[in-house]
Amino acid sequence: MTSSTAPAAQPIKARRVRFDYPTGAHRQHYVDNDLVLSHLVAALSAMFPEGEDFFIRSVRNYRDQITDDELREAIKGFIAQEATHRHQHRQLNERLQEMGYPTARVDRHAGQLLRLVEKVFPQSWSLAATAALEHYTATFAEILLTDERAQKLVGDDTEVRPMLLWHAFEESEHKAVAFDVYRQTIDSETLRVGIMYLASAIFWTEVVVQTGRSLASDPASYNPIRLLKSLNNIRKSPFFSWDAVTRYNTYNRPGFHPDDWDSRDVLARWSAELFEADGAQRSIGKH
Q: Where are the alpha helices (DSSP H) in 174-222?
A: 177-185, 189-216
Query: What does the angle CA 131 – CA 84 – CA 8 come to, to the nearest 5 degrees?
Result: 60
Residues of the chain above pLDDT 90, percent: 73
* Alpha-carbon gap, residue 57 to 77, rounded angstroms: 14
Of 15-19, 37-41, 218-222, give the lowest mean pLDDT range: 15-19
Q: How confident is the model at residue 286 (pLDDT cuts 50, 70, 90)?
A: very low
pLDDT-derived band at 1, boundaries 50, 70, 90: very low
Backbone angles phi, psi at 136, to 5 degrees: -65, -50
Q: Above 70 in pLDDT, residue 177?
A: yes
Q: Is residue 195 a contact partner of residue 128, using CB atoms and an 8 Å limit? A: yes
For 57-112, the pLDDT digits (tens) are 999 999 999 999 999 999 999 999 999 999 999 999 999 999 999 999 999 999 99
Query: What's the pTM value of the predicted model, to 2 decimals?
Result: 0.91
**Three-point CA angle 245, 246, 248, nearest 5°:** 65
For range 221-236, the mean pLDDT:
92
pLDDT score, position 27? 60
